[in-house]
Chains A and B, each alone.
Chain A
């Protein structure tokens, strides 16, 4: 219920509340920094992330290699920056896919109701409570690791939250008087859904997207850590931790640097999403 009242709040005001919240600014700053780092990786640090050098194995931090080198003698900073691209790419693509398909399912279930809704809801309940990681792991294990399959696997694990977040407000919007008025005015179902329902639940879906993007990045890293990520030598944060973990006693920085990168990125997204949610949810609004 709260969901709908939130989305029906007047547009004016929520941007103001978002801007008034200092933690959301930290989130924005972090995300912008990570995106810039990923896009301009080669300019920021021009070393080749794939170039191996046997003599330079497992070197500690130094001016030539600020974050040291890994067990193949590759520069960790360069790998870290290039890995940001893969992580963000997989995260954004999978969320876009999950958002499109999940919201469509949720809106359809909520609007049509009846047995279709009942079937979708119980399927979602299972999907929602199934361990995200295990689900992703099974899917990648079955399909084989590749960027496309990772995107699909992560999208599948995040269908349910989007479907749920779109379904609840659809149900309450459907019985709102302005939709009822539209029916009385002879508008088609398609028009009611597209013009009158979707715009009113969009903001909520976007908030969920920013929060689940954080989870997507975490899931991708976890899968890479288990060994189900993008195939080496392509650098990914999870994969780097996996390789670093093998040398944890000799070169702990190998695991720590990408670990911190994931953490900061995910924290940034969570701060941003949290700020957005607080801004549109009137219940937690600061008076």
Chain B
């Protein structure tokens, strides 16, 4: 794996105003707090966490589908956040997204051909019969039947629709793909097909991937490195086998322990998980995880640990693993 990053994110922030309106001040949700990470060329980074942890917002910030409030996003050395309209259009050929819900991510009134041809036309990348050829190639590549081009999304199953969504992301020949929970809406048997497809494409095209998921099993299978988010912050980042076999952050440990494994021998370890996710509008002071943390120290409720390197190639935001103050 080359160490040269295709994407380098530094201090990314996103706040949302929630509620509010006439005579009432909006509360703020700090959806992403100072996120910094890199994705190496031809590698795949997993972003995991529970619902509401900000992983999906972070992913969409990278493509500026959501406008970040602060920080920098260096994609192939250029800052995406500073790009104006035309430059952004150009960079969008090279960064693409695959969505979770295969039913919502396709326009129900456009045929597969129309859906796949539109990006080529808009970017002026092909014309005439060349468009049809490239669309046919994309259809074949994602493993859809050859007669799919003239059909509408509702004629396909969920798994097939997800293949169309992947074909649409690939048709502009991007270098980097954000996959936002791409298999969580699919049945188990179909999920494996789509994961296999994504793996194959990644290898053939030398793609780099940010893979957002709540399913640790899926992430273990498809990712090289994983970043774990809790209430808007990345709390741990590490290479794949290590983060699951030897999680350092107590939250990663809890998440790992709570993730079901198809083996009844692990059952009596039904983990005793403490508490629930606090409201993102009023996150706890100090380390946001301390109210649920079995190893919480007095310090944890006052200060927030920063994400610091531990060992080789790992980072964790926890006082248990940071040098003594």
Q: Measuring CB to CB, which residues of chain A are less than 8 angstroms from any residue of chain B?
A: 8-12, 176-178, 180-187, 191, 195-196, 199-200
Contact = CB atoms under 8 A, between A and B. Distances in A.
A200 B122 CA distance: 21
A4 to B, nearest CB: 10
B92 A184 contact: yes
A180 B93 CA distance: 15
Contacts of B172: 185
B190 to A, nearest CB: 18
A177 B115 CA distance: 13
Contact of B154 (A10, A176, A184, A195): A10
9 contacts: A10-B152, A10-B154, A11-B109, A12-B152, A12-B154, A177-B101, A185-B96, A185-B119, A200-B108
A191 B54 CA distance: 30
B107 interface: yes
B211 to A, nearest CB: 16
Contacts of A11: 108-109, 152, 154
Nearest to A8: B108
B107 A196 contact: yes
A181 B165 contact: yes
A186 B104 contact: no
Contacts of B122: 185-187, 191
Contacts of A8: 108
Contact of B105 (A9, A12, A178, A195): A178
In the A-B complex, the 4 residue pairs with the smallest Cβ-Cβ separation, listed nearest first, are: A10-B154, A177-B105, A186-B92, A186-B89
Contacts of A195: 118
Given A185-B168, A195-B118, 8 more contacts: A10-B153, A177-B101, A178-B105, A181-B105, A184-B92, A184-B96, A185-B118, A196-B107
A178 B63 contact: no
Classify the secondary structure of A's interface with B. helix
> Which of A8, A180, A183, A184 is packed against the most chain B CB atoms within 10 Å?
A184
A176 B104 contact: yes
Contacts, number: 67
B300 interface: no
B99 A177 contact: yes
Given A186-B88, A187-B118, A187-B122, A199 B109 contact: yes
A196 B118 CA distance: 11
B235 interface: no
A196 B99 CA distance: 17
B65 interface: yes
A199 B114 CA distance: 14
Nearest to B97: A184
Contacts of B152: 10-12
B123 interface: yes
B168 A200 contact: no
Interface string B54-97: 00000010010100000000000000000000001110110111
Contacts of A199: 109
B179 interface: no
Nearest to B180: A177
Contacts of B88: 186
Contacts of A196: 107, 110
Contacts of B97: 180-181, 184
Given A10-B154, A11-B152, A191-B122, A184 B105 contact: no
